[in-house]
Amino acid sequence: MYGAPVTQQVRVRFTVEPNYAGWRLDRYLQEKIRRLSRERVQRLIAQRLETEDGRRLKPSTRVAPGLSFALLKDAEAEPDTPQEFGVVHDDGALLVVDKPAGLPVHPTARYAANTFTSLARLRYPDRKVDPAHRLDRETSGLLACGTAPEVTKVLKRDFAHARVHKTYLALALGAPVEDAFTVDAPLALTGASAVRVRMHVAAEGLPSQTAFEVLGRRRAPDGAPVALLACRPRTGRQHQIRAHLAHAGLPMVGDKIYGPDEEIFDRFTRRAMTDGDLALLRLPRHALHAWRLELPHPVTRAPVRLEVPLPPDLAAFWEGCAP
């Protein structure tokens, strides 16, 4: 089921997370809405920003954790997104859902109402459902949420202190030489790429490490080698698994940013992708799935271990590859 395009004026709401304490407001928003320039962000702050108490904020304002504000978004049609998500675990405090590919977690420049956080507010009006970590819009799988501020605070602290272990499944183009390998390469938003959100391996980047295990090797219908990988990020950088696979010469199937041609991403943002682009990608979305989650319960501290299988689109692609 998909939602109808949204045409009314909407407010895109933000609440500053602890790891952004002390950042300038304009830098914080540019981090959250990567497609916008610093100048555009500063204009939005001056013309479109609302706070709960009516206080005026400047681009240079230093943000504090918990600061809430909204940006007014012009009335325009939002792209359709899935409107349903599966519940994997719900004990009243910890909520873990199976997020479908195509559903953004938080509001962005393009999506305001058609997001998981908006859907969760409608589905659970008496609970303050707040995701404790990120999943890219195209990534499917497990998303852990608190249902009250004090629970979410503990969850986010556990993620920040590496007490939560995440394992993803990915389909990558190429034939890994080893059955298990680790990519240890710093990542930064630098380089000559025209894609503003693309992460690059760079000496000045943040330490980034991902462990990979080959679960299977097959060939796509066109003969290209494809690997099914278990991916265990040991750090939590943006696009880490995708960037590390590309760095290892194993680009993810369907990846518009780190795949065969980054200009595909530009055409995607302009809704101008071609049949040739789709053929080159092999899948309309990147083949990454949040498969397994192991964490201490935010209230009882008892160990919790959850899994969700590959969704139908990725499973069908893998089954369509020859052993």
Element (H or E) spanning 153, and its range?
helix 149-160
Tokens read off for 148:
């009250």
Query: How far is 59 from 45, CA to CA, in rounded Å?
Result: 6
For every residue of 232-267, DSSP letters joined together read EESS--TTHHHHHHHHTT-PBTT-TTTSS-THHHHH
Query: How far is 278 from 135, CA to CA, in rounded Å?
Result: 23
Looking up tokens 């059955």 gives 179
Give the active site residues.
Answer: 136
Query: How far is 95 from 217, CA to CA, in rounded Å?
Result: 34
Q: Would residue 163 be called left, alpha or beta, if left means φ above 0 and alpha means ψ between -120 and 50 degrees?
A: alpha
- ∠ Cα 246 252 254 (to 5°): 130
Element (H or E) spanning 123, and its range?
helix 116-123
Tokens read off for 283:
């899948």
Query: How far is 11 from 74, CA to CA, in rounded Å?
Result: 9
Crossing angle for the helix pair 25-32 and 38-48, to the nearest 10 degrees: 110
- ∠ Cα 99 101 105 (to 5°): 55
